[in-house]
Amino acid sequence: MIIRSAHEIPGKDRFARISATASWFSNFVSKAGKLPSRRDLDPTEFPDILGHQMISELHRDREDGRIRMLGTVAEQFTGLGGNASGRWFSEILDSESTRAAVGVHIQALDSKKAVFGISNYLRQDGQRVSYARLLCPLATLEGEPETVFSVFELAKGDPAMKAVMHKAGRRSP
């Protein structure tokens, strides 16, 4: 679902980090008149999302994406553990889920708008993962692939939220 502001996120009260990121993104675009680039991502502007973020690259020629950086909390609730950075979507997800992940990246990049939704992917190891996510397209820097900044979140009140946050050494919202 393409959104223009945090107010358009269904059940936004359950997704504080995603709503804060949507506000930051729409404010940046409104003030700057352009998409932010990777260089514009300043963790001090939104410390509450640290650990919940991912920067990924879209490689249309391969019909695949690559994780450039995945936060520690996001690693926990996606079940990836360890460092997923540098891995291709197709190394982690089954083919249908890879196509879906690439499709939502294309939607965000082509529309130049943030895209909110609930992901429900099947990994190659057979584990199904589900979480809310907001994908924010970034301006492409010279010589780099198309890039997306994402924030992942389990819904406030989701029983899995407390366990994941505890395991990652953080307090749930």
Residue 58 lies in a domain: yes
Instruction: Output the CA angle 8-75-1, nearest 5 degrees.
Output: 20
Residue 120 lies in a domain: yes
CATH number of the domain encompassing residue 19: 3.30.450.20
Task: Show the tokens assigned to 154.
Answer: 């389990």
Residue 173 lies in a domain: no
The answer to whether 84 and 70 have CB atoms below 8 angstroms apart is yes
pLDDT tens digits for the chain (173 residues)? Answer: 666 655 677 666 778 888 889 888 999 999 999 999 999 988 788 788 888 899 999 999 999 999 998 888 877 766 666 678 899 999 988 899 899 999 999 999 999 999 988 877 777 677 777 788 899 999 998 999 999 999 988 765 544 444 433 443 444 44
Domain that holds residue 85: 2-39+49-167
Residue 168: the pLDDT is 39
Residue 134: the pLDDT is 92
Residue 126: the pLDDT is 79
3-state helix, strand, coil in the chain (%, to 5): 40, 30, 30
Q: What are the backbone angles phi and psi of residue 23, rounded to the nearest 5°? A: -65, -45
| pTM for this model (two decimals) | 0.82
CA distance readout (Å), 77 to 8, 127, 128, 160, 168? 25, 12, 11, 8, 9
Residue 82: the pLDDT is 67
Residue 110 lies in a domain: yes
Residue 1: the pLDDT is 64
Residue 10 lies in a domain: yes
Task: Show the tokens assigned to 114.
Answer: 């943030």
Dihedral, 89, 95, 96, 100 alpha carbons, nearest 10: 30
Number of domains in the chain: 1
Residue 118 lies in a domain: yes
